[in-house]
């Protein structure tokens, strides 16, 4: 059984795809009523709260692997890792560098037998203005990009319910895009998967209904 730890955009899609492939999958849902569609798709929906370790322990029963998707709140991620370790060492995927956090905190170092880092990207470099053009072309109506400040971005995330510290971190991370931090294309996706990376245009085409 694979446990996916939240039911937002990433966790829902991961659960849905695993269930579609016939893989036993459970999802820890903060609010199960929001994800009735996942239950209908064959996902085992278990109510839980990442701030309540006991509820994670219940969801962890019989689990061999965990897809750790969290709202980026470290204490919640440690709660999941602790629970997985207590349950007999279920493998935790995604954000698994946190497995090394204790070593980093206590010794200022960490060990690993791998020195390989992948930098997966799409097939082309796109600005947000480019993304607006692609959206307009595919959807057949004018979609515009409205630049906002880092402060406005942070406030929008707070208004959407994120804790201030998380909103601050995420807004700062987004400003790195403006500095060119994501302005590159690699061959990692075709090298690993043996097929080209999917274009943004293809992604918008696939999800046109969602954007409409």
- The SS3 call for residue 88 is coil
Output Rg (C-alpha) for the chain, integer angstroms.
19
Contacts of 163 (CB under 8 A, 6+ apart): 73
Backbone φ and ψ of 27, nearest 5°: -125, 135
Number of H helices, E strands in the chain: 11, 5
Of 30 and 133, nearer to ligand NAP (C-beta) is 30
User: Which residues from 7-26 bind ligand NAP, rule CB under 6 A?
Assistant: 7-11
3-state secondary structure of 108: coil
Pick the closer one to ligand NAP by CB: 48 or 201: 48
Q: Tell the smallest beta-carbon distance from residue 50 to ligand NAP (Å).
A: 4
* Residue 163 binds ligand NAP (CB under 6 A): no
What's the closest the beta carbon of residue 111 comes to ligand NAP, in angstroms?
26
DSSP 8-state assignment for residue 8: S
The residue from 1, 39, 42, 49 that contacts ligand NAP (CB under 6 A) is 49
Q: How many residues bind ligand NAP (CB under 6 A)?
A: 16
Is the distance from CB of 55 to CB of 48 less than 8 angstroms? yes
Is residue 131 a contact residue for ligand NAP (CB under 6 A)?
no
Query: Any contact of residue 57 with ligand NAP (CB under 6 A)?
Result: no
Instruction: Tell me which residue has its CB nearest to ligand NAP.
Output: 8
Residue 6 touches ligand NAP, criterion: CB under 6 A: yes
31 binds ligand NAP (CB under 6 A): yes
Which residues ranging from 61 to 120 are in contact with ligand NAP (CB under 6 A)? 69-72
Residue matched to tokens 């997985």: 84
d(CA 174, CA 28): 28
From 18-26, 44-52, 118-126, 182-190, span contacting ligand NAP (CB under 6 A): 44-52
The least distance separating ligand NAP from the CB of residue 98, rounded to whole angstroms, comes to: 12
Residues 13 and 37: their CA atoms lie apart, in Å, by 11
């Amino acid at each position: 059984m694979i446990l996916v730890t939240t039911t937002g955009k990433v966790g829902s899609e991961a659960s849905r795809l695993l269930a579609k492939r016939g893989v036993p999958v459970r999802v820890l849902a903060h609010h199960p009523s929001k994800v009735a569609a996942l239950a209908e798709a064959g996902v085992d929906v278990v109510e839980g709260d990442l701030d309540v370790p006991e509820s994670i322990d219940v969801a962890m029963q019989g689990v061999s692997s965990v897809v750790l998707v969290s709202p980026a709140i470290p204490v919640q991620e440690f709660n999941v890792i602790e629970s997985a370790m207590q349950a007999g060492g279920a493998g935790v995927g995604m954000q698994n560098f946190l497995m090394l956090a204790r070593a980093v905190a206590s010794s200022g170092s960490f060990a690993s037998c791998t020195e390989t880092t992948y930098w997966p990207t799409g097939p082309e470099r796109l600005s947000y203005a480019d993304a607006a053009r692609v959206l307009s072309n595919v959807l057949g109506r004018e979609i515009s990009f409205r630049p906002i400040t880092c402060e406005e971005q942070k406030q929008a995330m707070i208004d959407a319910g994120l804790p201030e510290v998380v909103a601050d971190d995420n807004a700062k991370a987004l400003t790195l895009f403006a500095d060119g931090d994501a302005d590159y294309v690699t061959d990692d996706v075709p090298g690993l998967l043996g097929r080209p990376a999917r274009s943004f245009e293809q992604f918008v085409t696939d999800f046109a209904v969602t954007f409409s």
